[in-house]
Structure 1
């Protein structure tokens, strides 16, 4: 970057496009591939979704080493390698007929996710952009937020035209031709440290990411992230049946669900480009308050009420703002050094919680006999995330 005050928009746009494709092919396409695979191979939905959960567990264990490699300047190799690995494994998946091999492929795809999704992308952006990272990350999440909008219909069209095996080969090609190529071209071979505003050189002690493990504020931030990650992964799968059980029509449930995505995008835009209005810490408090308010409201919304849209707006906006808070606030709380490794340390328990959430929500529904307990759990976790975040700010201020 020749001028520290000039945003390298080409670099930001390239990484944003790779997020769109990576999330679309590795995260969203799976939902459309379940039914044709079940029909063709005879594997149950639970067996297929178990492989996806295994990938989230795998990605959790690769998160910290990937972050450390990015901190050391290997972002280009990490993200390019992750995209190449994704392409190879998607191609193998297209030929799979053995369930044990299918599980191994998804363990590998978990490693690929840890190298190409938001956390590594945030780390590469933060290393290159420094204090300009807020706008870069906002653009990345805005473009990445359209992954489901683009790839759910695209994957459906591909399956209809080429079958699930042919579709996977085409999705593999996208990872190679778009993602790997853009990572090679756009990410510097050894990412240079951004220009800093009269910051002292970090001491050797500060360069160790394990220093945050002794900070209560770190564990409060992790608790908040785990609670929100559990909700954001478990609830979308169960939201429509939850609303149907409460007496809402399918049309009302679908309309409410469709509001969540635009609310996320609008909130990310407002968060990223409204930095002069609110600090990141204040935005975090608002984010947790909106989540708590939404889940506090949900049990009291009668069937057919327009208040369901209010819940969807609160939930979607909170999710959208949380992405940026989780990306940027760790720098403010724990320093810019070792940002990638610290993000990996936060991502590890979050991914483990996300891998368990869909099954946990289903088990709670089966045990309770209704979604009432799930609704209560979401409120308790949203309230817990609010308390943990406020405590995080208090102890961070005192430390």
Structure 2
């Protein structure tokens, strides 16, 4: 059983880590471009570099967390994130700017959800599902809190001063990481479960198919998340909203994320992770369809932000819980580290790709691209649920007839 203290520490950690690193360029990107005199491609290219670094080091980080736990690794990530923010605040040249983002890329892989999920799987094993959902609740409010906070700090101290404050906040999260337990959950081996294959104990083709579908869903989701995190405000402004209104509407994404996660925590324990994954992917196409009307209807713009937030919020939970029902949790960090690597690498191009799509085809082009990708994730989630729900449920102590715990 994972202690409440652990969940609270990781939840607060995620709240600060997402707000000060991943959402940084979404809040300050335009200000940085104007101040530095660089193109948007260069500014958002720094964030793309960080995502690429996350992908390159993902397998290694997963193995290290499996071996040593999340305590020291995540604390080191806090220090690196603070150094990366300080580097950004001091940057006046491209080498310094991109070096700072390189450091932030390492820091993000050691601090964000995937590191926390691996730490929880190591501590709690298959019982980590509820804790994984709980820590995403405050994390989902990061954009809601940090985009307005960043705007206020930038108005008072400039974007450099705001990022300097972010460095201090990240450094303050190190004690939260050091409060995590060191011990690993030790379960008796399950004879029918392969150490690196689907928990259903099927042939290698099942392992490959499950891994491909999971990797496809997470890759597209991370691409969309990177694009929306860096460009949602710009898309809303391009659709016709004033800057202030666009920031306010974009913060509803966080409300949608945490609202959906709260509902999952309260009522979703009887829903199989693969069914929840399908529900999450079903919300995204509806959200992007609403986005097309965002320029003529404030309600549609709000539904776009809330709907995308809800779908992405649930998908973040399932990114952590689906591997618990498909793969051996004792190798959770290693397996997910490998499967998530493509998602970070592909999403590295999202900020620049979205910026160029907006420049060439406008905000409607960006929404059309997002809609197509959302439909792809929906199809993959449907296949994953149809193929693996019954066997994964049986291996995890969940009845495939009624979805309840045995």
TM-score, L = length of structure 1: 0.84
Of 385, 388, 397, 1:396 maps to 388
CA distance in 1, matches of 2:70, 2:289: 41
Q: Any stretches of 5+ residues in structure 2 without a counterpart?
A: 199-203, 392-406
Which residue of the partner structure matches residue 402 of structure 2? none
The answer to whether the 8 Å contact 2:77/2:106 transfers is yes
Of 368, 373, 386, 1:381 maps to 373
CA distance in 2, matches of 1:230, 1:207: 26
Of 92, 95, 116, 2:90 maps to 95
Deviation at 1:107, TM superposition (A): 1.0
CA distance in 2, matches of 1:109, 1:325: 25
CA distance in 2, matches of 1:335, 1:17: 28
Deviation at 1:271, TM superposition (A): 1.3
Deviation at 1:244, TM superposition (A): 6.2
Q: 1:219 to 1:135 in 2, by over 3 A?
A: same
CA distance in 2, matches of 1:389, 1:345: 19
CA distance in 1, matches of 2:36, 2:221: 35
**Residues matched between the structures, number:** 386
Which residue of the partner structure matches residue 219 of structure 1? 212
In the TM superposition, what are the counterparts of 1:316-331 in structure 2 within 5 Å? 316-331=309-324
CA RMSD of aligned residues (A): 3.2
The answer to whether the 8 Å contact 1:217/1:391 transfers is no
Q: Greater shift after overlay, 38-47 or 133-142?
A: 38-47
Deviation at 1:214, TM superposition (A): 5.0
Deviation at 1:60, TM superposition (A): 1.1
Deviation string for 1:215-248 (max 9, x for gaps)?
A: 1111011112222222232245544565666667
Which residue of the partner structure matches residue 112 of structure 2? 117
Alignment of 1:263 onto 2:256: yes
Deviation at 1:17, TM superposition (A): 1.2
Q: 1:86 to 1:331 in 2, by over 3 A?
A: same
Q: Greater shift after overlay, 377-386 or 144-153?
A: 144-153
Q: Secondary structure at the match of 2:23?
A: helix
Which residue of the partner structure matches residue 352 of structure 1? 345
Which residue of the partner structure matches residue 166 of structure 2? 171
Q: 1:107 to 1:301 in 2, by over 3 A?
A: closer
Of 159, 173, 183, 2:177 maps to 183
Deviation at 1:157, TM superposition (A): 4.3
TM-score, L = length of structure 2: 0.82
CA distance in 1, matches of 2:43, 2:238: 26
Q: 1:168 to 1:305 in 2, by over 3 A?
A: closer
CA distance in 1, matches of 2:260, 2:25: 27
CA distance in 2, matches of 1:58, 1:370: 29
Which residue of the partner structure matches residue 399 of structure 2? none
Q: Any stretches of 5+ residues in structure 1 without a counterpart?
A: none
CA distance in 1, matches of 2:24, 2:238: 27
